[in-house]
A and B are shown apart, each in its own frame.
Chain A
Amino acid sequence: MTHNIYIYILVTGLVSYLIRVLPLTLIRKQIQSRFVRSFLYYVPYVTLSVMTFPAIIEATQVPIAGACALILGMIAAWRGASLFKVSVGCCAVVFLVETFYYFF
Chain B
Amino acid sequence: MSKLYETKNKTAFREGIRDAVPIGFGYLAVSFSLGIAARKAGLDPFQGFLASFFNNASAGEYAAFTLIAANATYLEIALMTFIANARYILMSCALSQKMSPDTPLIHRFLISFDVTDELFAISIGRPGYLNPYYSYGAFLIALPAWSIGTTLGIITGNILPLRIVSALSVALYGMFLAVIIPPARSNKVILILVILSALCSYLSGVLPVISSLSGGLRTILLTVMISVGAAIFFPIKNPEEDAKDDA
Contacts and interface: CB of A to CB of B under 8 A. Distances in A.
A42 B227 contact: yes
Interface string B224-235: 001110111011
Nearest to B59: A51
B74 A46 contact: no
B81 A12 contact: yes
B77 A11 contact: yes
B178 interface: yes
A77 B19 CA distance: 15
A43 B163 contact: no
Interface string A83-94: 110111111111
A interface SS class: helix
A52 B173 contact: yes
Query: Size range of the interface on A?
Result: 35 or more
Nearest to A88: B22
Contacts of A60: 166-167, 169-170
Contacts of B94: 40-41, 43-44
Given A25-B105, A88-B22, 5 more contacts: A17-B112, A38-B231, A83-B19, A83-B122, A84-B22
8 contacts: A8-B64, A15-B81, A20-B89, A24-B112, A39-B231, A60-B166, A77-B177, A87-B178
Interface of B: 18-19, 21-22, 25-26, 42-43, 47, 50-51, 54-57, 60-61, 64, 68, 71-74, 77-78, 81-82, 85-97, 99, 101, 105, 108-109, 111-113, 115, 117, 120-122, 124-125, 162-164, 166-185, 190, 193-195, 197-198, 200-202, 205, 218-219, 222-223, 226-228, 230-232, 234-236, 239, 242-243
Interface of A: 1-3, 5-9, 11-13, 15-17, 19-31, 34-56, 59-62, 65-66, 69-70, 73-74, 76-78, 80-84, 86-95, 98-99, 102
